[in-house]
A and B are shown apart, each in its own frame.
Chain A
Amino acid sequence: MDGIHDMGGMQGFGPVLPEPDEPAFHEPWEGRVHGVAMALWATDVPVGSLRTQIERIETVHYLTSSYYAHWQEALEAGLTQAGVIAPGEIDTWIERLAAGESMPVRTDPGRAAATAALLEPDEPAPPPGTSHRFALGQTVRVRRISSPQHNRCPRYIRGLTGRVERLLAPAPPPENDDGEAPGYSVAFRSSDLWPQDGTDHEVLVDLWETYLEEDT
């Protein structure tokens, strides 16, 4: 969808503000949210796509809430839509904790190990394969995608042409769970993306074949 998450090339957000010696998590609950998400990923509980849910967060709220607040809301929305949790159950637990009840604790070393295994090397990365329609070096044009669905085609390159720089192994596009599509790293000139800026750099964007067409 054409939401606020799609920020490439927007102006007016101000300076980048690095933080010296930044910790992995600024507050304990942020680490817990990351851990809860990965603990769910290690199970067959249907969580849905975090990105899809995050893109649906209302625009002003998106800009004024933190990364892990987005994760928390996306997890809650995904689990609710899948019917895993019911509306109101979170509020009930907020009340129970506020009333002094302790966090429930459940341990299982086997399940903890299975979760930790998500951060261990898995199968080798797949090779690009031979199913690509476009060739290295070919000029391609980005389709003018304007779907209300979740997609991974940024606005700032739509309708413009770039050069195929690298072939990427087929993977399921996020808007289509039934099939895989080959991918490409496509190199764009900044002078094509923002002709009035007077810049001269390259931006490389990874795009599924379904987002591209021949430049005719």
Chain B
Amino acid sequence: MSHGHHHERPKSPSELRAKALEALLVERGLITTDAVDTIVDLFQNEVGPRRGARMVARAWVDPAYRELLLSDATAAAAEMGYGGAEGERLVCVENTPDVHNAIVCTLCSCYPWPVLGVPPVWYKSPPYRSRMVREPRDVLREFGLELPEETTIRIWDSSAEVRYIVLPMRPAGTEELDEGRLVELVTRDCMIGVAVPRVAEGAAA
């Protein structure tokens, strides 16, 4: 619960106005406290990148699901029980040995909430939004991802209704891993496209 909690530090104007806005809307009966609680709880505990990771791992082991994910990602998400706001029109873009994809929103911070949760601060920041379309190799290098010169880089600027998710390549040496352990390899950054799945030393043995 966040109400009634006393902070040591002074509150920022945004924090003061946000609390006052909630108080006003609840007092009026326009919203309810538990509706707000529910959304906070969902994003903190349930709606996050683990969901996208489950979809990716399943696509790696289940060719029919992979087919569905690449042809209709909204349906593929719904099959797992995921969907809703900022995920009504999902498109999954596939990394291959020749093509690497990444997502950005240069105009605001559009992001596929139902499968990745709320976006990290860097994704919403001016450096990422300005640079990712213009100098993606440099940005990826800063994330520790050095791509071969011959790899085609495709950057998806989600400027309208579609929200994107990247299907990364299954790393070599994971043939023995089951779906549950594959999920562990798929980080949020892999599905944004600023990282690729890595197998820790000895993990695949």
A residues neighboring B (CB under 8 Å): 5-11, 13-19, 22-29, 31-36, 38-43, 45, 51, 54, 63, 65-69, 72-73, 75-76, 79, 84-85, 89-94, 96-97, 102-109, 111-122, 124-126, 152-154, 156, 166, 168-169, 171, 183, 185, 187, 190, 193-194, 197, 199, 201-208
Contacts and interface: CB of A to CB of B under 8 A. Distances in A.
Contact of B36 (A36, A120, A199, A206): A36
B4 A103 contact: yes
Nearest to B162: A206
Given A16-B131, A69-B14, A106-B26, A42 B122 contact: no
Contacts of B98: none
Given A72-B18, A190-B134, A204-B154, A24 B43 contact: yes
A32 B153 contact: no
B159 A117 contact: no
A105 B17 CA distance: 17
Given A14-B127, A122-B83, A152-B107, A31 B160 contact: no
A168 B161 contact: yes
Contact of B22 (A103, A114, A118): A103
Interface stretch (B53-61, B72-80, B174-182): B72-80
Contacts of A69: 12, 14
A45 B21 CA distance: 14
Contacts of A54: 108
B43 A25 contact: yes
Contacts of A35: 35-40
Given A8-B129, A113-B38, A206-B159, 15 more contacts: A11-B131, A16-B122, A16-B139, A25-B43, A25-B44, A32-B22, A34-B43, A35-B35, A36-B31, A72-B17, A111-B32, A116-B42, A124-B78, A169-B161, A205-B157
In this complex, which of A16, A29, A107, A208 has the most chain B Cβ atoms within 10 angstroms of its Cβ? A16
A115 B25 CA distance: 15
Contacts, number: 312
Interface stretch (B84-92, B165-173, B197-205): B84-92
A91 B152 CA distance: 53
Interface of B: 2-5, 12, 14-27, 29-40, 42-44, 47-48, 72, 74-75, 77-78, 81-85, 88-91, 106-109, 113-114, 117-118, 120-122, 124-131, 133-137, 139, 142-143, 152-162, 189
B121 A39 contact: no
Contact of B48 (A24, A29, A72): A24
Contacts of B156: 185, 204
Contact of B2 (A31, A85, A190): A31
A93 B24 CA distance: 7
B21 A76 contact: yes
Nearest to A41: B85
B152 A202 contact: yes
A48 to B, nearest CB: 14
B21 A168 contact: no
